[in-house]
Structure 1
Amino acid sequence: MKLNFKKSGTGEPLIILHGLFGSADNWFSIAKELENDFTLYLVDQRNHGDSPHSDEWNYEVMVEDLRELMDEEGLSEAYLMGHSMGGKTAMNFAVTYPDRVEKLIVADIAPRYYPVHHQTILEGLNSINLSETYSRKDADDQLAKYIPYPGIRQFLLKSLGRDRNGFYWKINLPVITENIEEVGKALEEDTVYSGPTLFLAGANSNYIQQSDLPDILAHFPNYEIEFIEGAGHWLHAEKPEAVVREIRRFLI
């Protein structure tokens, strides 16, 4: 699948993958801080952002999407970073094509299995009647019945597009809803990427725990981990300066 991406900057290539319900735009402010150091590729994964929709949605096909992008861009290898779902894609890519990943950064996700925990978000998104939505405020009011936090609603509603026919979802909401179990799948056993790997964890997040470290070591024996103080799961939005600092420290 030919993915949509935004390319900017100069230097060694750094590919960044967003998380579930997100898009390349989520990393725009981080990329702006890194453009003097790297050639940035901010990628919309399939069924997200401006990339195509498909009924097939799992890490195997998302890995191949990324390989195709690198092939078309003439990238034999690159620095690779992913957040949450994007981190799982990045980890799967690294263990599948280790020679194509110079260094790996995984933001607030571990290799283990995660049970489905997005039911309320999916119920809220599916509850929005787009045919009766005439403004973003209409959509926000409907979503507020399920999600009381304005920041989370604002993030989710970035996936709401609008054209002359009205509002539409940029994300492939039906396929994501039907296949949500795919997001939490663990890496296959005995898969290893031996290259330098940095795990960035939000200190206030429960996505990476001390109990995950043996599993991380088994898959990524050359890893280090940094906990970003004051950050939760969306560490790049909550503590962007710290995230940029760690990216530079690790890659340069």
Structure 2
Amino acid sequence: MTDVPAHGGDLWPALRRRTQARIGLGRAGTALPTRHRLELQAAHAAARDAVHSPFAPERVAAALPGTATVRVRSAAPDRPTYLQRPDLGRRLDATDRAHLPAGEWDVVFVVADGLSSRAVHEHAAAVIRATTARLGDDWRTAPVVLAEQARVALGDDVAAAMGATTVVVLVGERPGMSAADSLGAYLTYRPVPGVTTDADRNCLSNIRPPLGLTYEAAAGKLAGLMARARELGGSGVGLKDESGPPCAIAQPL
């Protein structure tokens, strides 16, 4: 690092510019300095807001002009139930399942609020646009499913109901004290509800430019994994990302 001061200087400012971790914050008596204490409280509030803010599927639909969308809910009737009953967030509401359009789709994208509706609102549409732009003409793409109170495995139920071979679930990841807007992408080939496990999925995490994976980098990896999954006839631990190092993070930090 060229900006590290000479021996004897203060290293912390230079190191803090290279990471979002809270390092070298100092102290005021036995506590953090007031400025850092307030920053910590603000980060905690942002994380709570990300979890509890309601999902607005119309925002995602508006960011996908010309793309057909379908709205569904999980079996969790409200946010408190969703947080306390993960199993319900993995299953479709029975009425909504009946309204899903069935067809011979190669892939369906599911936008799930997960644990950060903010991440979905800010990043999901851009990832879908960038990914579909990379897919060849032989990929039949189903209408995008916008799922409320949803977890990753809900995508298995959606794919089975719609007849899609591959499902890509874009979901708001659990917020931390340095990131409340992180989006995850989970790819599953030929999912079977209640049978498919996390070992059968491939995940891209921390999609959130400029401090995380960029949309183009995520789209390139997703499209590559989708093509390879179709060749292998499977996804998960047997499918490796061979597109290069995952270092497509905007610089400088």
For the criterion TM > 0.5, the same-fold answer is no
User: TM-score, normalised to structure 2's length?
Assistant: 0.32
Q: Which has the higher helix share?
A: 1
Mark the structure with the bigger radius of gyration.
2
